[in-house]
Amino acid sequence: MPTQSPADDGGGLELRGRSHELRDLQEQTPVGGILLAALMRRQLRLSLGVTLGFAVILAGQPLVAWAWPSYAAVTVLGIPLPWLLLALLAFPALALLGLFYVRRAEAIDEEFSELLRR
């Protein structure tokens, strides 16, 4: 991880002994712009994928109930099956989706940092 030099005023990271990628990124060269754009594309792709998964989980249940009325009419212990599945399956699925997002986002950031350290 880059460190600040004693002479640094806090506005930037020390460049001595660091990779060309880090220098390109800090000096905002075209190569640094490409590296940053690639990172942002990966983060956007992850975010859109998780958003799509979220939408499928939450919107899929009512759509299935609407498309198959007999499914919506089934009750378990007096509770409509779609509501029961939403309560018992959707929230754990959303928690797993959140966990997946955090782990992938951290992995993407770590890969980017590793690229800069080389």
Measured CA to CA in angstroms, residue 36 lies from 25, 27, 67, 82 at distances of 7, 12, 44, 44
Angle at 65 between CA 63 and CA 68, to 5 degrees: 105
Dmax over Cα atoms in the chain, in whole Å?
Answer: 73
Number of domains in the chain: 1
Q: Kindly state whether residue 104 falls inside one of the protein's structural domains.
A: yes
Domain coverage including residue 50: 20-117
Q: Kindly state whether residue 60 falls inside one of the protein's structural domains.
A: yes
Give the predicted TM-score (pTM) of the model. Answer: 0.66
Q: Kindly state whether residue 9 falls inside one of the protein's structural domains.
A: no
- pLDDT band with cut points at 50, 70 and 90 for residue 27: low
Round to whole Å and give the CA distance between 40 and 33. 10
Q: Kindly state whether residue 34 falls inside one of the protein's structural domains.
A: yes
Reply yes or no on whether the pLDDT at 102 is more than 90: yes
